[in-house]
Amino acid sequence: MSSAVQKRYPEVWRKHTPRETAARWLWIAAVAFASAWSVSALDIEWVFFKDAHVQAADLAGRMWPPRWAYLPKIVAPLVETIHIATLGTAIAVVFSVPIAFLAARNTTANGFTWAVGRGILVASRSVNTVIWGLLFVAIFGPGPLAGIAAVSARSVGFLAKLVAEAIEEADRGPIEAIEATGASTFQVYVVGILPQVMPVLIGTTVYRWDINVRESSVLGFVGAGGIGIYLYASINQFAWQQVLVVLLAILAVVVASEAVSAWVRERIS
Amino acid sequence: MSTAAYPTSWRPPPAFFGTRTRQHAAVIAALLYVAWSVSTLNIDVNRALAGFGRAVDLFVRMVPPDFSRGELLVRGMVESLQMAFAATLAGVVLSVPLGIAAARNLAPRPVYLAARGLIVVGRTFHEVIIAIFFVKLFGFGAVAGLLTLAFHSVIFLAKMLAEDIENVRVGPIEAVRATGAGFLQVVVYSVVPQVLTRSVGTAIYRLDANVRHSTVVGIVGAGGIGQTLSASFSRYDYDFAAAILLCIIALVALGEWFSDWVRAKLR
């Protein structure tokens, strides 16, 4: 038997070719190297871990029992947190639709407008809500307005990206039918494409709203309104029993908003 | 012939809410909500309007971005990356036991409920809240950030792993069990091969998410580029802040591209 035949029909079965095996080992080596480099370069003081559980238990002890008398004071900021999330999401929806049309390959005017649309998506999505908060506090001063702006700045990219994908996958049939009536481009977009992407837009909006409630709970850390200010203040005053009340309140609001969001999304799909 | 049966104008039906009356009701309810929420938020209109002028001012001060303190910038970015890598590693390792405990078809009922409870509570709190506790416990710096990201990674990866395990086909499990294999052998020989590829994909996704989140935990002093950014904002050092923001955008976009590429290859 020639060696070429033997190469094609080997005696021993192997799952991967030598090339695949080499690639796998290279990946594993890269991961191992990156991990080792990261862990060693961070200068971890392992001594701290020794008494971490004691420290954590001590902190938990100071938190108990929760000071429920603090609860009435944080109802208004909790409502404000939800308002920031809701208004921020609403503004984002309004801006996300035109940006989505700009960033979708089949509806954008030319290569330049497409690049602009994609650029907005990337910039909006890459900067965290809290960092947007930092920026808008510098613009509007501390308060819920900065929070609303931050939430909408981050959500615009999130919504527009998914809507743009839906536009690119839109069914050609209705679009051609509307075009055949002599409709203008704007009319084609509004009557032919928008109804097709509506379910995606609504579903994503409700999903993003629930993420935004969670994000709004920390916007106060940078001065952008909501419950975060009270949490930060209580921690800085070492008022741990108040901290526990605030944490439980945030837990309740976030779990409730998640349930609402899941319920709505189930109903519309 | 009646003209009523053939109307001369046509309006598209409302896209949702069913009828036009219900659509109007929904619009009115939305407007009432906006009026109520805006009135409780005490938004100062003058300050809001002044903000637009200040935004222009801020933009002018940000351009051109100042890359002259490159060393500080690179150190912060590298620290963020290291936090993300190390946190993903810790997350992958620790999520395996928690994921198995949170899978309904493998874990006993009480263990399952406890693990699910931990996942729900852990997912609720934003990274920054977790970070502030780790900063209190471990002091300022990257270790607190690393632990924050690791905590969230464990919770996220365990949730995804548990769902993957719950969706495995029972055939292989029963086959391995029929050979008289113990619990660990059942897991290794029938569950692991079914969930491995998806888990690698989830871990890569989480690495990307950790890169994103590593840029923000620094706001409360948990290390990384976020700390540098926060400091530059509080010093009104806006041209440096602009440079940092551009680097964050580039890093996050690169991370997302990498994660999409690897996950596309895995499929």
A168-189: pLDDT as tens digits:
988 889 889 988 988 888 888 8
B146: nearest CA partner in chain A: A42
- Asked if residues B69 and B129 have their Cβ atoms less than 8 Å apart, the reply is no
Interchain pair B233, A134: CB under 8 A: yes
Interchain pair A38, B136: CB under 8 A: no
- Asked if residues A166 and A101 have their Cβ atoms less than 8 Å apart, the reply is no
Facing A131 at nearest CB: one of B83, B126, B215: B215
Query: Which two structure tokens, joined as six digits, stand for A91?
Result: 């503004």
Interchain pair B16, A251: CB under 8 A: no
Nearest alpha-carbon partner for B106 in B46, B43, B36, B185 = B185
Q: What is the pLDDT of residue B148?
A: 92
| B3, pLDDT greater than 70 | no
A90-124: pLDDT as tens digits:
999 999 999 999 999 888 888 899 999 999 998 99
pTM for this entry: 0.84
- Which of B54, B126, B140 to mutate to probe the A interface, most A CBs <10 Å? B126
Facing B51 at nearest CB: one of A87, A139, A198: A139
Q: How far is B129 from chain A (nearest CA, A)?
A: 7
B96-118: pLDDT as tens digits:
999 989 988 888 889 999 999 99
B11-62: pLDDT as tens digits:
766 666 667 788 888 889 989 988 888 888 877 777 778 888 888 888 888 8
Q: What is the pLDDT of residue B4?
A: 61
Residues in chain A: 269
Q: Report, as ranges of residue numbers, the positions in chain A whose pLDDT lies below 50.
A: none
B160 membership: H or E segment, kind and range = helix B142-166
Q: How far is A230 from chain B (nearest CA, A)?
A: 12
Facing A134 at nearest CB: one of B47, B89, B230: B230
More confident residue, B143 or B7: B143
- Dist. CA A250–CA B4, nearest whole Å: 57
Averaged over B220-241, what is the pLDDT? Answer: 86
Q: What is the pLDDT of residue A88?
A: 94
- Dist. CA B47–CA B56, nearest whole Å: 15
Find the DSSP H helices in chain A. Answer: 3-8, 18-41, 46-50, 52-63, 71-103, 111-126, 129-140, 144-168, 172-180, 185-187, 194-219, 228-236, 240-268
B134-157: pLDDT as tens digits:
888 888 888 888 899 999 999 999
Q: Which residues of A touch B220 (CB under 8 A)?
A: 221
pLDDT above 70 covers what percent of chain B?
96
Q: Which residues of A touch B43 (CB under 8 A)?
A: 143-145
Q: Which residues of A touch B211 (CB under 8 A)?
A: none
Q: What is the pLDDT of residue A157?
A: 93
Facing B54 at nearest CB: one of A76, A79, A139: A139
